[in-house]
Amino acid sequence: MSEQASAPGESRERRERSSRPAETGPQQQERRLAEKAARRRSREGGERARASEEGTVHLKVFRYDPEVEGKREPRFDHFHVPERKGLTVLDALIYARDRFDPSLTVRHSCRQAVCGSDAVFVNGRQRLACRTQIADLEEPIVVEPLPHQEVLKDLVVEMGHFYDQMDAVEPFFQPDSLPSDPLEEQRQSRENREAIRAATRCIWCAACTSSCNIYAGDDRFLGPAPINMGYRFYMDEREGSDARRRRLAILDEPHGVWRCQTQFSCTEVCPKDIPLTKHIQEMKREAVKNDLKFW
């Protein structure tokens, strides 16, 4: 007796599936994972072929994952990403993660150089990945985590100590008194605003701290960003007198402004062009003035 003919419109995939022997749960899951991996390899192969026709950018990315055996030894992986006008380092990393290796880990958020979360070490310099143009770099483009920080995974570093140092300078406005009318502003002169404007641009990215050789050898050193934050509030004419004295005392410590050796590395790498070294020197001057006695 002949086999029953397939129903009109029945797909080839369905006929093949119906002819397979019955599978157990684990076998079915293993087959699906294998099919998914095959589809991914096919897609990636097609993308690589298109990229080779269009031109690619060569990324050499630091990899490390302490939780996965076989990835605990640091290494570099190579990715070839399609080149296009306006491509940033972060764009390239996201493409490599989404198309080639979903385990690639990089911290990012706003992608507009505001959040400061995607600071990395690119071709030997601290940079924001989201604002660094691929066209401005030489290949291979070597992307590493920020130096002088504990690496958690791939390009992500531990930021807890940096945040603790920022908090140590009390980075918030503390006036002696508030206006009686809750709708009245805390007024500031134009001149004072201009004097501290650059200091207010800090986005807490830690690029400056990572570039500082003193910070690398002294984990008690406040670092450029916290000192700049202290400068920002100390120099604000609206700040309370008690808060100014307390903040200056924090900065005028052996591991405060006096550990700075004026190397200018922090100023050179700051993505917001803050004159960090200048601000540190101005706080040294304020500390000296505070210690002068005339009698």
27-36, 241-250, 270-279: least confident range: 27-36
Q: What pLDDT is attached to residue 282?
A: 97
Tokens representing 242? Answer: 């008690």
The CATH homologous superfamily to which domain 159-178+190-291 belongs is Alpha-helical ferredoxin (1.10.1060.10)
**Residues above pLDDT 90, as percent of the chain:** 73
Helix (H, G, I), strand (E, B) or coil at 113: coil
pLDDT bucket at 23, cuts 50 / 70 / 90: low
159-178+190-291 and 40-156 share a CATH fold: no
Helix (H, G, I), strand (E, B) or coil at 61: strand
Contact 87, 134 (CB under 8 A): yes
- Assigned fold of 40-156: Ubiquitin-like (UB roll) (3.10.20)
Contact 59, 140 (CB under 8 A): yes
30-34, 112-116, 172-176, 195-199: least confident range: 30-34
Residue ranges of the alpha helices (H) in 55-158? 89-99
C-alpha–C-alpha distance, residues 46 and 99, integer Å: 11
C-alpha–C-alpha distance, residues 4 and 35, integer Å: 29
Left if phi > 0, otherwise alpha if psi is -120 to 50, otherwise beta: which for 255? alpha
Tell me which of 199 and 33 has the higher pLDDT.
199
Mean pLDDT taken over the chain = 88
**pLDDT tens column, 55-100:** 999 999 999 999 998 889 999 999 999 999 999 999 999 999 999 9
Classify residue 81 as exposed, middle or buried by CB count within 10 Å of its CB (0-12, 13-18, 19+): buried
pLDDT bucket at 260, cuts 50 / 70 / 90: very high
**pLDDT tens column, 89-145:** 999 999 999 999 999 999 999 999 999 999 999 999 999 999 999 999 999 999 999
Residue spans per domain, the chain: 40-156, 159-178+190-291
